[in-house]
């Protein structure tokens, strides 16, 4: 729920060095951080922060602006913190210094009844990191979340839906590439399948991140944590990218975004980067048009590519390097080769 704009007592003109994401909506916490340094807009803050002194409000905002560089992490942590502080305010807690481990434990217990274990652990991490920052900046004396244990969670198999190779092939072949949108969509899906790219890294690419090296086309991906990852292109992906870049005349705009929105009314590419939500809707639309009933999302193509690679004799170590995973344990979550074994075994139940 997005609450009405509330005057927080100071404007962003007093915080010129601050940089946070625009337009963040949160649940019951109701916090939005507006970004432009010259803006005179006020800030919506959780009630406990809004009632505190100006320097406490600044330290709270600095946590999101100064300590978190990834926009998705920042957004998720902001939701978690806002939700917890709103929960505390609803239970007559009137100041940050009054929050005790019992409050955090009770909130986690209540949250666990309606949210998944990974969500609960992420929310707890957000509160723990926030209070770590507030202790370091001398806003509060202790971290009430440091001693609170989250729920146990162990997984050996990822939950991301995966396509069979023939389904992925059918999806790519079903896309009409006579339009800029079709060329873009096939190139984006192909990139995620053949290079194991995360959608965030794919959408962050510029035209110059597709380049020739050793007479082959390569792609440069800017992954999480500031990691730069380069991969040679599969011959199919090379075709898709050449068709897209040449067909949409992107070579002249090397610094521009590689994947862009379609301008309204003219059916041509704009100069605006394609948002992740739009990419998700595109994937769902293309899958439905291809008759694919699996509820896939952007991340499905990463898992599909890794599984196909391993099925055809690839090693887990090489797959981890190609996917830019720090550990093969992460790569194993994308390995769905055992699904076929499980299905074969189930069919042995002859009743």
Give tens-digit pLDDT for 244-286.
Answer: 999 999 999 999 999 999 998 888 999 999 999 999 999 999 9
> Please, what's the largest Cα pairwise distance for the chain?
73
**Residue 94 within a domain:** yes
226 and 294 both lie in a single domain:
yes
d(CA 229, CA 244): 22
Intra-chain end-to-end CA distance of the chain, in Å: 51
110 and 227 both lie in a single domain:
no
Mean pLDDT over residues 32-47, rounded?
Answer: 53
**Amino acid 181: pLDDT:** 95
180 and 315 both lie in a single domain:
yes
174 and 98 both lie in a single domain:
no
189 and 330 both lie in a single domain:
yes
Does residue 15 have a pLDDT over 70? no
Average pLDDT, the chain: 84
Helices (H), the chain: 47-50, 54-66, 71-89, 101-111, 117-136, 165-174, 180-195, 199-203, 235-247, 276-289, 300-311, 316-322, 328-332, 337-346
Domain count, the chain: 2
Give tens-digit pLDDT for 284-304.
Answer: 999 999 999 888 988 899 889
The proportion of the chain whose per-residue pLDDT surpasses 90, expressed as a percent, equals 58
**58 Cβ partners below 8 Å, 6+ apart?**
10, 15
96 and 230 both lie in a single domain:
no
Give tens-digit pLDDT for 148-198.
Answer: 998 876 566 667 888 988 999 999 999 999 999 999 999 999 999 999 999
**Amino acid 342: pLDDT:** 65
**Amino acid 34: pLDDT:** 38
Mean pLDDT over residues 130-156, rounded?
Answer: 89
pTM: 0.68
**Residue 155 within a domain:** no
């Amino acid at each position: 729920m997005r609450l009405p704009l509330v005057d927080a007592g100071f404007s962003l003109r007093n915080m010129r060095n601050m940089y946070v994401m625009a337009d963040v909506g949160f649940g019951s916490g109701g916090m939005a951080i507006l970004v432009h340094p010259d803006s005179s807009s006020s800030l919506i803050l959780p009630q406990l922060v809004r009632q505190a002194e100006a320097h406490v409000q600044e330290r709270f905002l600095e946590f999101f602006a100064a300590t978190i560089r990834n926009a998705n992490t920042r957004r998720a942590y902001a939701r978690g913190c806002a939700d917890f502080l709103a929960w505390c305010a609803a239970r007559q807690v009137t100041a940050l210094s009054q929050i005790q481990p019992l409050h955090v434990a009770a909130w986690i217990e209540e949250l666990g009844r309606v949210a998944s274990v990974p969500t609960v652990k992420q929310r707890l991490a957000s509160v723990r990191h926030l209070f770590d920052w507030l202790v370091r900046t001398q806003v509060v004396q202790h971290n009430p979340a440091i001693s609170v244990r989250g729920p146990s969670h162990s997984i050996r198999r990822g939950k991301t839906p995966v396509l069979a190779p023939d389904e992925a092939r059918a999806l790519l072949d079903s896309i009409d590439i006579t339009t800029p949108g079709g060329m873009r969509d096939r190139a984006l899906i192909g990139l995620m399948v053949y290079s194991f790219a995360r959608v965030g890294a794919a959408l962050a690419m510029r035209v110059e991140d597709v380049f020739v090296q050793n007479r082959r086309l390569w792609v440069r991906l800017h992954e999480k944590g500031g990691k730069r990852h380069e991969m040679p292109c599969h011959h199919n992906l090379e075709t898709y990218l050449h068709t897209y870049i040449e067909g949409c005349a992107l070579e002249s705009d090397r610094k521009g975004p590689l994947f862009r929105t379609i301008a309204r009314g003219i059916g041509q590419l704009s100069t605006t980067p394609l948002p992740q939500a739009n990419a998700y809707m595109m994937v769902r639309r293309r899958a439905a048009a291809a008759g694919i009933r699996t509820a896939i999302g952007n991340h499905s193509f990463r898992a599909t590519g890794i599984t196909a690679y391993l099925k055809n004799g690839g090693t887990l170590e090489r797959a981890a390097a190609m996917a830019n995973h720090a550990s093969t344990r992460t790569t194993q979550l994308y390995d769905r080769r055992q699904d076929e074994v499980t299905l074969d075994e189930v069919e042995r139940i002859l009743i």
